[in-house]
Structure 1
Amino acid sequence: MIYSPLRYPGGKGKLAPFMKVLIEKTGHKGGTYIEPFAGGAGIALDLLENDIVSQIVINDLDKGIYSFWRAILSETDRFVEAVHEVPLSVEEWKKQREILLRADNKYSFELGFSTFYLNRTNRSGIINGGMIGGLEQNGVWKLDARFNKDNLINRILKIAKKKECIHLYNKDVASLIKNYLPKYEKDAFVYFDPPYFKKGKQLYLNFFNEQDHVRIEKMIRESVNCDWVITYDDVPEIANIYVNHELRRFDLNYSVAQKRKASEIIIFSNGDVIPDERYLEEHKVCINLR
């Protein structure tokens, strides 16, 4: 099992068994799995490790996230050494935060590492959030609570071993769909996980407004020529945007500040992609699709 080195609020890693069922049901086992909003890419890594797909395409417009993935794939030894040697302290946190704030719009190893460092030491992994335990480090948990060096190094090394099967991009979703997706569409399954509608501004550096979400729907409807699914927070605005699509709901355990179950929307490219309850039971996938 490969776990993502990145933490994400509302991370969709738990959907990996469900995504496996969708890929097998649509005949794409052994094909290509694509995440245009990859983030931690937890599902992609799981599917690749378990040979459900032969290659994965991960894309993220955020330069810090992209730099992290590029660094661990192309400068693995250097990254592993940096993880091993970096101090876990308030002073180092401030240094890494300054690197992030001063970064330009180009790839750099330093930006990738600072993004990783802040993701592992901030509350709920939110890059622009505060550190675990606060500046005074007087909370129950300290900033090193989610930074087990040996565990994280093992995750990075496992991913690097699969680098020949990982295709990495740093594109706007429109550019990815228009210029890069066609080369994979013959045998591909795409999972779109855009920034949440309601709390996107709080959770992501690259958040969307309502018109951005409308634009995404139009691009997917008109230009994506393979099987796909989309997940969103369950809000009326998204339900209205996708009113003419195959839309269902499910619950996801979610934690930012408090643990709760949140209803999510899932949209399917067509009705044939949707597994019925019996199919899910046969494949031992527990999800309250409704």
Structure 2
Amino acid sequence: MLDARFNREDLAERIERIGSMRDHIELYDLDAMKLLRQLQPELPKKSLIYFDPPYYAKGSQLYRNFYGPEDHQQIAEKVKSLRSPWLVTYDNCKEIKALYRGASKLEFSLCYSTHLARPQATEVMFFDNLKIVEKPFLRR
């Protein structure tokens, strides 16, 4: 039941707004390093690249394909070298904060609805070359 967790009308409106931008959005189902090698030379000036790599701390428990520490380090180095605006979201842990040291960041909380429990997790978003409008619920 979609409307049990989401406001159906609001969700439909959001999907329609995203759909109206479909000519300006490209999605890739590629490993981050492969995507970076493939796209970096071809990116238009007005590009935003969003990376959502597997979690660092619990990646092996949550994903079939997860990264080791050296994979996360290689991705961080490559992402931080991009000239186009980028953002990356991760689980909020000291290892990831160290890899993205120097990048702008925002921390935020999410509630997950897995089974009956509703655990709250803290995530972190790193970014560069972006203008962020402050919201009261986001902490830098």
TM value normalised by structure 1: 0.39
Q: Give 2:28's match in structure 1, choosing from 59, 68, 72.
A: 59
Q: Which has the larger radius of gyration?
A: 1
After TM superposition, the structure 1 = structure 2 runs for residues 64-143 of structure 1, keeping only pairs within 5 Å, are none
Question: 1-side partners of 2:52 and 2:31: how far apart?
Answer: 14
Change (3 A) 1:182 1:256: farther
Cα deviation, residue 183, structure 1: 2.2
**Counterpart amino acid of residue 202 in structure 1:** Q
**Counterpart amino acid of residue 28 in structure 2:** N
Question: 2-side partners of 1:254 and 1:233: how far apart?
Answer: 13
Change (3 A) 1:47 1:267: farther
User: Which residue of structure 2 lines up, in the alignment, with residue 233 of structure 1?
Assistant: 91
Cα deviation, residue 46, structure 1: 6.6
SS where residue 37 of structure 2 aligns? helix
SS where residue 188 of structure 1 aligns? coil
Preserved CA contact (<8 Å) 2:49 2:87: yes
Q: Give 1:218's match in structure 2, choosing from 69, 73, 77.
A: 77
Preserved CA contact (<8 Å) 1:192 1:230: yes
Preserved CA contact (<8 Å) 2:32 2:53: no
Preserved CA contact (<8 Å) 1:185 1:225: no
1:189 and 2:48 are equivalent in the alignment: yes
Preserved CA contact (<8 Å) 2:112 2:118: yes
Change (3 A) 1:46 1:193: farther
User: Which residue of structure 1 lines up, in the alignment, with residue 8 of structure 2?
Assistant: none
Cα deviation, residue 241, structure 1: 1.2
1:200 and 2:47 are equivalent in the alignment: no
Question: 2-side partners of 1:242 and 1:218: how far apart?
Answer: 8
For structure 1, which runs of at least 5 residues remain unmatched after alignment? 4-44, 61-170, 278-286
Preserved CA contact (<8 Å) 1:268 1:274: no
Runs of 4+ in structure 1 over 6 Å off = none
C-alpha root-mean-square deviation of aligned residues, in Å?
A: 2.3
Question: 2-side partners of 1:273 and 1:205: how far apart?
Answer: 35
Change (3 A) 1:208 1:234: same
TM value normalised by structure 2: 0.76
User: Which residue of structure 2 lines up, in the alignment, with residue 289 of structure 1?
Assistant: 138
SS where residue 255 of structure 1 aligns? coil
